[in-house]
Amino acid sequence: MCTMKNLMIAIILMVIFIAPGQSQTLSKEQMIFLTPLWEGARFDDGRPLVADDVLERMESVTIEEAWGVLRNEGYHNQFEGEWQPLHDDITVVGRALTVQYMPNRPDVSDAIKEKGSSDGRIGNTNSWPIDMLQYGDVYVADAFGKIEDGTLIGDNLGNSIYAKSQRGVVFNASSRDMEGLSEIEGFNAFVKGWHPTFLTEVMLTGINVPIRMGEATVMPGDVVLAKREGVIFIPAHLAEQVVTTSEVVRLRDLFGITRLKEGVYTPGQIDSRWTDAIERDFSKWLNDHMDELPVPKEQIKALLAKRTW
């Protein structure tokens, strides 16, 4: 039986040697193989393409709601806390473009750079992932938690990232130029630290490959939900379920609070399993207040269509 170490070595070898013309990335076939439960659209390289409307709705999902859905589905290793965000009030949501960095080793690094050059890649290796970003992507990079000399971006690269993706970054590493980055309206960076040094003794070993972000396993195309509490990486095939579940919880909570304030029900009635009468009242309330609720009308209609009360 293969150990996890052997599996990762095999993946790295596939990335370097089996994907001609795509330096340091998985082939489309490999990408599909590693994301078998995703049945929706994909980018040309095979990365899952979660719909824009799901990403928009994901912004209102709490970390706890997402964590609960993933936990119930058997995904126990998708959350990582302990970040130093650039802003603690700007949520980052998007599709993960994953990047793996390792401590520099000259023979490997030189081979990677040579292959990248022959594949048409331009500039330093830490700019290669930025060249690949598309609208809605979040640049997610594991650089083994390096802080000093582990600054993956400064304000110049930050501006380029936001111009391409309109999103931010999540780095198991550090960044520099906090002041300059903070001036990019809408941009946020979740990093492990801030440092004035430049990036040195780090080599890029994979783009859009499976990576580890602290205690979380991240696949290309996962939906990133980064908030003040931390960052959760949602498998693409569970993204819509997370959003829908969150919306139902949000509506039920709002209904319960409203009826408690009105004195219609007691706390005991709302905090326990609802009776059929309360469920019918909830359905009527949804229908009567559809235009006022903080959930898209189409989603409320879909919820009502499934209800039997």
Question: What are 142-174's pLDDT values in tens digits?
Answer: 999 999 999 999 999 999 999 999 999 999 999
**Would you say residue 13 has pLDDT above 50?**
no
Q: What is the pLDDT of residue 283?
A: 95
Q: What is the pLDDT of residue 24?
A: 76
What is the phi-psi region of residue 278: left when phi exceeds 0, alpha when psi lies from -120 to 50, beta otherwise?
alpha
For 259, other C-beta atoms within 10 Å of its C-beta total 18
Task: Please give the structure tokens belonging to residue 151.
Answer: 């600054």
Q: Measured between alpha carbons, how far is 169 from 143 in angstroms, rounded to an integer?
A: 13
State the chain's mean pLDDT as an integer.
92
Q: What is the pLDDT of residue 236?
A: 98
Q: List the chain domain ranges.
A: 4-49+81-234, 240-306
Q: Quick check: 295 and 251 in contact, CB under 8 A? A: yes
Average pLDDT over residues 200-219: 97
Q: Quick check: 25 and 15 in contact, CB under 8 A? A: yes
Question: What are 263-278's pLDDT values in tens digits?
Answer: 999 999 999 999 999 9
Helical packing angle, 276-288 and 239-262, nearest 10°:
100
Q: Measured between alpha carbons, how far is 81 from 225 in angstroms, rounded to an integer?
A: 12
Q: Quick check: 163 and 143 in contact, CB under 8 A? A: no
Q: What is the pLDDT of residue 23?
A: 59
- Residues paired with residue 94 on neighbouring β-strands, in sequence order: 224
Torsion over CA: 179, 181, 185, 188 (sign): negative
Q: What is the pLDDT of residue 307?
A: 77
Q: What is the pLDDT of residue 9?
A: 47
Question: Which of the residue ranges 68-77, 159-168, 189-198, 290-299 would you say has the lowest mean pLDDT?
Answer: 290-299
Average pLDDT over residues 277-285: 96
Question: What are 125-143's pLDDT values in tens digits?
Answer: 999 999 999 999 999 999 9
Closest of 57, 54, 88 to residue 188, by C-alpha: 88
Q: Measured between alpha carbons, how far is 74 from 90 in angstroms, rounded to an integer?
A: 29
Using pLDDT thresholds of 50, 70 and 90, give the confidence band for residue 194. very high
Q: What is the pLDDT of residue 112?
A: 93
Q: Quick check: 298 and 305 in contact, CB under 8 A? A: no
- Report the percentage of the chain scoring pLDDT > 90: 84
Average pLDDT over residues 68-93: 97
Q: What is the pLDDT of residue 20?
A: 46
Using pLDDT thresholds of 50, 70 and 90, give the confidence band for residue 17. very low
Q: Quick check: 126 and 148 in contact, CB under 8 A? A: no
Please, what CATH class does the domain formed by 4-49+81-234 belong to?
Answer: alpha beta
Q: What is the pLDDT of residue 295?
A: 87
Q: What is the pLDDT of residue 44?
A: 96
